[in-house]
């Protein structure tokens, strides 16, 4: 039985979708969970859960959020970089603003949160930084040029940070998830997603347990010698 009792876990984009699934999962297994989201005030109260309003793409907002974490919790064990924005559109008609928003949240946000997390983790010389990637990074579907690039970027980000943080016993890995029934999926045409899923070696939608299994491994002591790795669900690489 997995237990995260005594662990402080930060999940970005925790208010809905995969972030909410993960926040609830860590809570059920005994962790103290901090949820970063733009509208933390709408987050439900739950024992062990602390919602903090943070725009991960804004450096000042992230710094304020981590200052609160530092004062309230003193340290941090596990970070799940989940916050992401998705606009699916053919490149020739993709608005620059939508592209920038994806890069700000998905790439810059992951960088800023990882950077501040490592500052907290280094004192205890233990930490796990886990990025939520996407099958889009490897399958490179039409319409997802910027989103796919942003998800490929966070794997690279994790790989480089893994080297920088290795001496601090902080590992950095990426989980490339496939489509799972969340509100983000509702933004995409179902026939298009079905077609992509049908092309996977394991052609089905992801279930929450598929995600939890890999997260448990990356977050555990057992993965102490595993860093700078990307695992794709469903054989999506």
Partner 1 sequence: MTNKESAVLDLIYQTLTTLNEERSADEKIEVGPDTCLFGERSVLDSLSLVSVIVDLETLVADKFGNAISLTDDKAMSRDPVPFVDVGTLKAYILEQLG
Q: Could you tell me how many residues of this chain bind partner 1 (CB under 8 A)?
A: 8
Gap between the Cα atoms of 207 and 220, Å rounded: 21
Nearer to partner 1 (CB atom), residue 25 or residue 165 = 165
Rule CB under 8 A: choose which of 59, 139, 180, 231 binds partner 1. 59
Is residue 63 involved in binding partner 1 (CB under 8 A)?
yes
The verdict on whether 147 is a catalytic residue reads yes
| Crossing angle between the packed helical segments 59-73 and 109-124, to the nearest 10 degrees | 30
Q: How far is the CB of 74 from partner 1 (least distance, A)?
A: 11
Q: How far is the CB of 112 from partner 1 (least distance, A)?
A: 12
What are the structure tokens assigned to 150, written together?
């942003």
Is residue 53 involved in binding partner 1 (CB under 8 A)?
no
**SS3 breakdown of the chain: % helix, strand, coil, rounded to 5?**
50, 20, 30
Contact between 140 and 237 (Cβ < 8 Å) = no
What are the structure tokens assigned to 193, written together?
């997603």
Q: Which of 4, 25, 49, 147 is catalytic?
A: 147
Rule CB under 8 A: choose which of 30, 39, 48, 67 binds partner 1. 67
Is residue 125 involved in binding partner 1 (CB under 8 A)?
no
Q: How far is the CB of 143 from partner 1 (least distance, A)?
A: 34
Is residue 119 involved in binding partner 1 (CB under 8 A)?
yes
Contact between 174 and 131 (Cβ < 8 Å) = yes
Q: How far is the CB of 172 from partner 1 (least distance, A)?
A: 16
Gap between the Cα atoms of 82 and 131, Å rounded: 6
Contact between 136 and 144 (Cβ < 8 Å) = yes
Kindly list the residues in this chain that would bind partner 1 in the complex (CB under 8 A). Answer: 59, 63-64, 67, 70, 119, 122, 167
Q: Which positions are annotated as active-site residues?
A: 147
């Amino acid at each position: 039985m997995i237990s995260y009792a005594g662990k402080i876990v930060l999940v970005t984009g925790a208010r809905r979708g995969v972030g909410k699934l993960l926040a609830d999962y860590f809570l059920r297994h005994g962790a103290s969970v901090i949820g970063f989201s733009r509208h933390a005030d709408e987050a439900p109260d739950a024992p062990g859960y602390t919602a903090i309003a943070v725009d991960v793409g804004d450096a000042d907002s992230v710094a304020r959020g981590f200052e609160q974490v530092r004062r309230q919790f003193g340290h941090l064990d596990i970070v799940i970089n989940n916050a992401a924005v998705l606009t699916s559109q053919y490149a020739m008609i993709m608005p620059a603003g939508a592209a920038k928003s994806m890069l700000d949240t998905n790439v810059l946000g992951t960088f800023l949160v990882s950077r501040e997390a490592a500052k907290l983790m280094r004192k205890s010389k233990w930490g796990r930084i886990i990025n939520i990637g996407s099958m889009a990074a490897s399958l490179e579907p039409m319409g997802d040029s910027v989103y796919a690039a942003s998800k490929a970027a966070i794997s690279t980000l994790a790989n480089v940070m893994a080297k920088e943080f290795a001496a601090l016993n902080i590992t950095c890995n990426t989980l490339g998830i496939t489509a799972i029934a969340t509100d983000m999926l509702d933004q995409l045409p179902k026939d298009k997603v079905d077609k992509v899923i049908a092309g996977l070696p394991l052609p089905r939608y992801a279930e929450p347990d598929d995600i939890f299994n890999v997260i448990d491994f990356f977050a555990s002591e057992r993965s102490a010698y595993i860093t700078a790795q990307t695992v794709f669900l469903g054989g999506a690489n």
